Amino acid sequence: MLPFLETLLNTTLTVFTIMASLVYCTVFSLFAFISSFFIYVAINQIVLFASKKKFLNSKFSLLKKYYLASLHCHSYYDGALTVKDIVLNAYKNKYSFFSITDHLEPKLSIDPSWPFAYLKSLIKKGKTLCGLSLKLINNHTIKVYNKKVPDSHVMYLIQGVEISAMDKGKKTHIGIVGLNKMPKPYQALDYYFKKYQKENVLIMACHPFSPNNCGMGLLNLEKYKKCIDFVELNGSFPLPFGYLINSKTKRVANRLKMPTIANTDSHIKSNYFNTFSFVFSFSFWTSASCWFFF
Ligand SMILES: [Zn+2]
Ligand SMILES: [Zn+2]
């Protein structure tokens, strides 16, 4: 073979070997990275599952000390359960404070005042909800209890809404619980924070780090820190997104010293009652400790 051709062949072979090794290393590292991430998430899930089991076993003894709350879910307007099914099951699951927070989205013909109005209409007619008694406590609270059973469990159903506020042309979700009537839709974030500072309501930053679901993001959390009662850990995201988003939320909330609350934000049947936030009293605005399971 000609020496020139031999050198060319050798060089080509060397370049090809280097390139093949590089490609192999990159693919291998990528594979190793992705698999270690999933192993990490899987281990976390096993630990979480074990603690969930332990928690559920001790849930009833804990309930002697604390109240259970869940303050963000959707009725069949854009969820999966009817108001009746939500209330009956929330009561059965021993929640003490519960809120249905449908979207304030008149453009989509969603009426977030409907769940509360429906229950109020039952009270007006003197009806029960499948045997459960309902009593209007104030303009935004309905007591749910079983009249026939002495010392029965009591649940307070609080009127709530998930508002689509506007922030730099984008929709941003905030949750308001304990309001008497629905506000004007599609106003600026500033408008709602100003309005609700004057009212005795609970303000939640819903899923703040989910840009595709209208989370308010870090800058707004920092800006409105003093106006927000709770930063939400959200039970509606599938794995691994739920894990990633909620870990970030918890980290940032700790850094900003903001309390967190775990809510289901249920739109599908299976996750209406999968988060547990413990509160210490009826005036739970100030503190809550969360038990949160995806
Ligand atoms: Zn939302
Ligand atoms: Zn929601």
The residue among 104, 118, 72, 78 whose CA lies nearest residue 273 is 72
Measured distance CA(169)–CA(183) in Å, rounded: 19
Q: Are residues 29 and 86 in the same domain?
A: no
Q: Are residues 3 and 128 in the same domain?
A: no
Report the separation in Å between the CA atom of 162 and the middle of ligand 1, taken as the mean of its atom positions: 7
What tens digit of pLDDT does each residue of 88-139 get?
999 998 899 999 999 999 888 889 999 999 999 999 999 999 999 999 998 9
């630990």: which residue's tokens?
47
pLDDT at 79: 77
Strand order in the sheet with 230-234: 103-104, 160-167, 170-177, 202-205, 230-234, 260-263
Report the separation in Å between the CA atom of 74 and the middle of ligand 2, taken as the mean of its atom positions: 6
Q: Are residues 200 and 91 in the same domain?
A: yes
Report the separation in Å between the CA atom of 142 and the middle of ligand 2, taken as the mean of its atom positions: 21
Spatial CB neighbours of 91, under 8 Å, sequence gap ≥ 6? 132, 144, 153, 155
Q: Determine phi and psi for 58, rounding to 5 degrees.
A: -100, 0
- CATH number (domain holding residue 244): 3.20.20.140
Given pLDDT bands bounded at 50, 70 and 90, which one contains residue 280? low
Q: Are residues 216 and 240 in the same domain?
A: yes
Q: Determine phi and psi for 147, rounding to 5 degrees.
A: -60, -35
Q: Are residues 46 and 145 in the same domain?
A: no
pLDDT at 133: 96
pLDDT at 286: 38
Measured distance CA(35)–CA(56) in Å, rounded: 31
Q: Which residues pair with 129 in a beta bridge?
A: 132
Tell which of 59, 78, 98 closes a domain.
59
What tens digit of pLDDT does each residue of 200-239 get?
889 999 999 987 889 999 999 999 999 999 999 998 887 7
> Ligand nearest 77 Cα, by number?
2
Q: Are residues 152 and 270 in the same domain?
A: yes
Tell which of 17, 33, 59 closes a domain.
59
Report the separation in Å between the CA atom of 267 and the middle of ligand 1, taken as the mean of its atom positions: 10
Q: Are residues 8 and 101 in the same domain?
A: no
What tens digit of pLDDT does each residue of 10-27 get?
888 888 888 888 888 888
Most confident by average pLDDT, 58-67, 127-136, 281-290: 127-136
Report the separation in Å between the CA atom of 266 and the middle of ligand 2, taken as the mean of its atom positions: 7
Q: Are residues 198 and 263 in the same domain?
A: yes
What range does the domain containing 132 cover? 63-292
Q: Are residues 227 and 94 in the same domain?
A: yes
Report the separation in Å between the CA atom of 7 and the middle of ligand 2, taken as the mean of its atom positions: 67
- Number of domains, the chain: 2
Report the separation in Å between the CA atom of 136 and the middle of ligand 1, taken as the mean of its atom positions: 28
Q: Are residues 143 and 191 in the same domain?
A: yes
Q: Are residues 45 and 160 in the same domain?
A: no
Spatial CB neighbours of 62, under 8 Å, sequence gap ≥ 6? 55, 278
Q: Are residues 115 and 246 in the same domain?
A: yes
What pTM was estimated for this model as a whole?
0.80
Tell which of 21, 37, 59 closes a domain.
59
